[in-house]
Structure 1
Amino acid sequence: MNLVRQPMLEPSGHMLQNYAASEHLFLMAEDNPIDAAMFSEMFCQAFGRSVQLVCVDRFDKIPEQLNTRQFDALILDLDLPDSSGIENIQKIKQPYPNLPIIVLTGNDDLSLALDSLQNGAQDYLSKNKVTPDLLTRSIFYAKERKQSELELKGALDDLYTKNIQLESLAKHDSLTGLANRSYFHDEANHILTRAKRHELKSALLYFDLNNFKKINDSYGHLAGDTLLKQTADRLRLVVRESDFIARLGGDEFVIITDILSHKEEVFPLIQRIEEQFNYPFEIGPHQLEMKPSIGIAFYPDADNLDALIKQADFAMYEAKKNKGNNICFYSEKIAQQHYRNKDIENHLIEAIEQGELFTAFQPIVSVQPGKPVHFEALARWKSKSLGNIRPDEFIPIAESTPLINSITQVMTRNTKLLLELSKHRRQPIGSISINVSARQLTCKNFGQTFLQWLDEQNIDSQHICLELTETQAIENYQQCLDQFMFLRSQGIKISLDDFGSGFASTNHLLDLPFDIIKLDKQLIRCIDKNTRGQALVAGTIEMAHRLNMTVIAEGMENFEERQTVIDLGCDYLQGFLIAKPLSLGAAASFSQCGPSQPFSRQS
């Protein structure tokens, strides 16, 4: 009680006079008529006509009065016929927490006074010592102490509420309201502990949103945030109360299930999640189609949380590779591939620094004799640690990191070497194609950066063609369009690689400013025997020519295919039949001698 009593100041006579002069209503619980009369008189002496005192003689009558009127204070005799003792204070305090209570007793025991204060009374009066002045002071003190107690309680309640809010902020993601990474780790470990104790299973689903970055780039981060919040709202609808869902950061979410008897029990949850992405997200005026990539791993196949998260993460990235199937369960094969990819990525940094990457140049020859040979610059890697690494292994890995720019720089430097060697031999060559990725083109400054690389090597942009695959061009249509327009304005040619392998339409050919389209080898294979394929290729070539585009047939492997595409009007040929990718010196020699046999269209 010292905390409550310390702030109290001795009231001045003026303060007491003002207090006594104001209107007051008091409730007194006293069963002795003589004591009741004595106190009634004291109240009149202390407060005069401005006071009204209501007396009751039983404890059960106190609530009846308190429920009908607002009293300034309660003067409570602890020894009433229907209830007595310190407990009476608590019985009144709990339902009426704002009411000042003054204990009245004929007992001068100091310990009783302390017990009364500790149990919630604001002051203590002895019937044997009370005077009108002491009564006034006691009531004044009681009201002041009660006010101080309420203010202190309010401050403590505010502090408690703020602590709860801070604890919630520490545990939850501020954007979506879902649990954050730290809170997830705590709760997930509890679930795994229960699963271990009961010798049961648990599933962890790790997923993100496909092409989420494109939403931020195309519509802004506010739209991206709205999408994340709507995703969180949808996910809340499908998880059971016993499951635990969290946002780990960015567009990554994770769900750990309550303990399972069988792995198959997770299938309904997966289905419910998929169904939530079957209809579009409304972001302002836009309706956006989104799909997640979901990786799933199980405890106790992974015997701790870190391993479980890692396995589900591996599976999620494998799911991203599987077009049309966005769900993948973890397996050892996936893990081995993941570790292989990580090994390649780690060694690739060293390979670039130590010059392990080199360039092979594959000729692209015209069907018309006497025209310069063009080349495609192809990245090759012979690792001191890993041996020969196939391009289809290390290029996709590089494309997911900034390392792809370093590889493009290597290709640019080696392109300069071929141009210089050809110039030295006085054998002009056509353009040299350098492959770029959609990741590079989605960077706003890539065009300027690439031109800077050309300037550093003193390469005329007229000698350079940039190639992008059909699939990447279509999936990143708007970003590619802006970059292509800029690069073409600087004299660089743009080539659409692997045309016919994806979903490009005539609209894309009309809208995207390509100079060259390269027919995918799937269109060329066995074309001499495939009349429907011939019709398709002939129509594509005719359309491309009308759009002032040059057509190259890739994957040329036999004389029959070569002759057929020549007859259909193709402009250039590329493939093992013409030449395999060549070293720098061999490429320069090829540009002098050309292919072993000349090409011409048969009439």
Structure 2
Amino acid sequence: MGMEIDSAPLAASFCAHVVNTQQPLVVGNARDDARFRENQCVVGEPHISSYMGYPLRHSRGAFVGALCVIDSRPDRFAPDNLPRLEIFARVVEDILELHTIHLEGQKLTREVHDQNHRLLTSNRILRQAEAVARMGAWELDIEADQMKWSEGTQAVFESSRTGGGTLKASMKGYEPADRREIEERCEKAIESGTPFDIETDLLLGEGKRKRVRLAAERVEADGMHPARLVGVVQDVTESYRARMALHHAAEHDSLTGLYNRFAFDRTLQQRLSEANGTGEEVAVLLIDLDGFKDVNDVVGHIVGDIILKEVGEHLAKATPEGGLAARWGGDEFAVVLPPQTGSEQARAIGKQLLEQLRYQSDISGHLIEMGATAGLAIGTSGTSVKELVRRADTALYHGKKRDPGKVHVYEAGLEQGNVARQYALNEVRTAIREDRIFPAYQPVVELRTGRLVGFEALMRITSCMGRRITATEVFPALIDPFLSREVSTCMIEQVANEFVALKRSEPALEFVSINASEADLLASGFAAQLMAQMREKRIDLSRITLEVTETMLLVDNAQAVRRVLTELRDNGVSI
């Protein structure tokens, strides 16, 4: 007793024998004990001679050490001293247990602190996420029928309340038309555990509303919480408006605000599909503005766009309920008439629409007279969208030629002229591509003397079978504004190339005349093209005569025609 010892290696310790054998140990004289006489603590400091140790056992059953007394003198302890040491050992075991509990308490305190810190951090992140996502959490105690709201939910509802009361009371803030469905979805989730996700409008008073998304599911009761419905509410107003704007842009014309061709086709297809089951008729109007190209040419496209917007407004107001008005493209518009509109009623509606499009518009000092022509087609079960629109377009095309400003109804007899037109267009296009257009020179003689004075260059085509085709046979193609310009280009080029040979064969030749179409005289570069071709071949412009008809001066843009003719005449071309 009274010896100082700090520590010793486990292998050299007396206590290791106590722990390993799990039995008390009494050593009278370590110097005579074969187990310990070579021990460094015996032969050296602290020169242990007597030892008595009692095993220490943890409350959980493990042996963790020994309580011992030592002395440098021999035979200081005897086995009958062990009961007293056992008492002290039990005290030490209690102290160790208390220390273990203390350490575990400290550990638990640290864990609780860490959990609280993580919880506070999570709540802070959740509040930030709710604010950024404009979202909030909520839960309904199913048995108590009471709602609880997070701060995010309060922000969405713009309310300081922490709860929404009962389930039924919480429905009052939603769009009336949706309340019953939301309540039914909640009840179904409570009863069968079916989750739901729905969008609706939230009414906030003073006419303010938000678009919100609601999602929820049932969570069963556990030892600490009752069964409840948990969910989120999110303010999706901005994304909803963006979706609606995209949807509107996808279906509407940006200039006029009317529906676009995509929406028109989709609606017409839907009407025709419905008609397949009922046998009812589907009516379509194609409307083309009269003289609009001249408006663009004279006052410019900016004014033209203003007029198109005005036309769109007039058409939208005049289209009857159940119908759909769309911009078909350029200055053409299309209308799907309401269901169950018969042919007579469709014609009457068409007249009303044209009446609304017949007006004067004063834009920046320009007084513009507006008008339009319409083609009407009636479809039944089995008619395709493409076919019905084609029929309306055919009626419009023939109506524009015969009697502009009126409604023209499609009839089968129009197809004959349409077939002839298509034949002419195809024949001329192919002839241009394959270089089969050529001028036939018709002599011009002086009646008094019978002397040949000139030639009139007449357009002819050699067919793929070798037959000569006259202009009369392909006349529909020659009044097409694009093809007629291509034909004129071919004719002018060939006349310029052949003029010298004509002059050589007929030395007295005074002129060659060339026919000009309406499209030629309305084209800004026609005069320059004609004069450049002739000058390139060193042909005196006084040798060229341009043939025009009186009707050329009656076109809508007669002023442009006069400018072209004046320019040519001033440069020596005869008119």
Superposition TM-score, scaled by structure 2 size: 0.60
Task: Kindly state the Cα deviation for residue 301 of structure 1 after the two structures are TM-superposed.
Answer: 7.9
Identify if the C-alpha distance between structure 1 residues 457 and 183 changes in structure 2 by more than 3 Å, giving closer, same or farther: same
Q: Is the 8 A contact 1:380 1:390 kept in 2?
A: yes
Q: Paired residue for 2:441, among 361, 384, 403?
A: 361
Match of 1:265 in 2: 345
Q: Paired residue for 2:413, among 322, 333, 337?
A: 333
Task: Give, in whole Å, the separation in 2 of the partners of 1:168 and 1:490.
Answer: 55
Task: Kindly state the Cα deviation for residue 173 of structure 1 after the two structures are TM-superposed.
Answer: 0.4
Q: Paired residue for 1:479, among 553, 557, 560?
A: 560
Provide Cα deviations, 1:1-25, integer angstroms capped at 9, x if missing partner.
x999744379xxxxxxxxxxxxxxx
Q: Is the 8 A contact 1:302 1:308 kept in 2?
A: no
The sequence identity of aligned pairs, in percent, is 27
Q: Does 1:204 align with 2:254?
A: no
- Residues 316-465 of structure 1: matches in 2 within 5 Å? 316-323=396-403, 326-369=406-449, 373-384=453-464, 389-416=469-496, 419-425=499-505, 427-465=507-545
- Residues 444-523 of structure 1: matches in 2 within 5 Å? 444-475=524-555, 476-494=557-575
Identify if the C-alpha distance between structure 1 residues 72 and 364 changes in structure 2 by more than 3 Å, giving closer, same or farther: closer
Provide Cα deviations, 1:373-396, integer angstroms capped at 9, x if missing partner.
133211122422595544234244
Size of the aligned set, in residue pairs, is 387
Task: Kindly state the Cα deviation for residue 344 of structure 1 after the two structures are TM-superposed.
Answer: 2.2
Provide Cα deviations, 1:449-475, integer angstroms capped at 9, x if missing partner.
222222344432121111222212331
Structure 2 residue identity aligned to 1:8 = R
Q: Paired residue for 1:179, among 235, 250, 259?
A: 259
3-state SS in 1 of match to 2:326 = strand
Q: Does 1:191 align with 2:271?
A: yes
- Residues 224-239 of structure 1: matches in 2 within 5 Å? 224-239=304-319
Task: Give, in whole Å, the separation in 2 of the partners of 1:266 and 1:96.
Answer: 45
Q: Is the 8 A contact 2:373 2:404 kept in 1?
A: no
Identify if the C-alpha distance between structure 1 residues 245 and 72 changes in structure 2 by more than 3 Å, giving closer, same or farther: closer
Q: Is the 8 A contact 1:173 1:179 kept in 2?
A: yes
Higher deviation after alignment, 84-93 or 359-368: 84-93
Provide Cα deviations, 1:472-528, integer angstroms capped at 9, x if missing partner.
23313121122223222322122xxxxxxxxxxxxxxxxxxxxxxxxxxxxxxxxxx
Task: Kindly state the Cα deviation for residue 290 of structure 1 after the two structures are TM-superposed.
Answer: 2.9
Task: Kindly state the Cα deviation for residue 427 of structure 1 after the two structures are TM-superposed.
Answer: 2.5
Task: Give, in whole Å, the separation in 2 of the partners of 1:246 and 1:360.
Answer: 47
- Residues 74-85 of structure 1: matches in 2 within 5 Å? 74=161
Q: Is the 8 A contact 2:290 2:405 kept in 1?
A: no
Identify if the C-alpha distance between structure 1 residues 110 and 219 changes in structure 2 by more than 3 Å, giving closer, same or farther: farther
Task: Give, in whole Å, the separation in 2 of the partners of 1:402 and 1:457.
Answer: 26
Q: Does 1:219 align with 2:299?
A: yes
Task: Give, in whole Å, the separation in 1 of the partners of 2:394 and 2:503.
Answer: 49
Q: Paired residue for 1:310, among 390, 394, 402?
A: 390
Task: Kindly state the Cα deviation for residue 85 of structure 1 after the two structures are TM-superposed.
Answer: 5.4
Provide Cα deviations, 1:350-409, integer angstroms capped at 9, x if missing partner.
212434323233333345548761332111224225955442342441342433233223
Task: Kindly state the Cα deviation for residue 252 of structure 1 after the two structures are TM-superposed.
Answer: 0.9
Match of 2:238 in 1: 158
3-state SS in 2 of match to 1:215 = helix
Task: Kindly state the Cα deviation for residue 283 of structure 1 after the two structures are TM-superposed.
Answer: 2.9
Q: Is the 8 A contact 1:89 1:119 kept in 2?
A: no
Identify if the C-alpha distance between structure 1 residues 75 and 274 changes in structure 2 by more than 3 Å, giving closer, same or farther: closer
- Residues 109-128 of structure 1: matches in 2 within 5 Å? 110-112=224-226, 115=228, 118=231
Task: In structure 2, list runs of 5 or more residues that go unmatched.
Answer: 1-120, 130-145, 147-157, 175-201, 210-220
Task: Give, in whole Å, the separation in 2 of the partners of 1:236 and 1:425.
Answer: 66
Task: Give, in whole Å, the separation in 1 of the partners of 2:321 and 2:159.
Answer: 49
Match of 1:136 in 2: none
Q: Is the 8 A contact 2:428 2:477 kept in 1?
A: no
Two-structure CA RMSD over aligned residues (Å)? 3.6
Structure 1 residue identity aligned to 2:246 = L
Match of 2:127 in 1: 8
Provide Cα deviations, 1:107-129, integer angstroms capped at 9, x if missing partner.
997545x9487477xxxxxxxxx
Task: Kindly state the Cα deviation for residue 200 of structure 1 after the two structures are TM-superposed.
Answer: 1.1
Task: In structure 1, list runs of 5 or more residues that go unmatched.
Answer: 11-58, 60-70, 79-83, 99-106, 121-151, 495-603
Q: Is the 8 A contact 1:209 1:291 kept in 2?
A: yes
Q: Paired residue for 1:286, among 357, 362, 366?
A: 366
Where relative contact order (Cα < 8 A, 6+ residues apart) is larger, the structure is: 1
Task: Kindly state the Cα deviation for residue 164 of structure 1 after the two structures are TM-superposed.
Answer: 0.3
Task: Give, in whole Å, the separation in 1 of the partners of 2:276 and 2:458.
Answer: 52
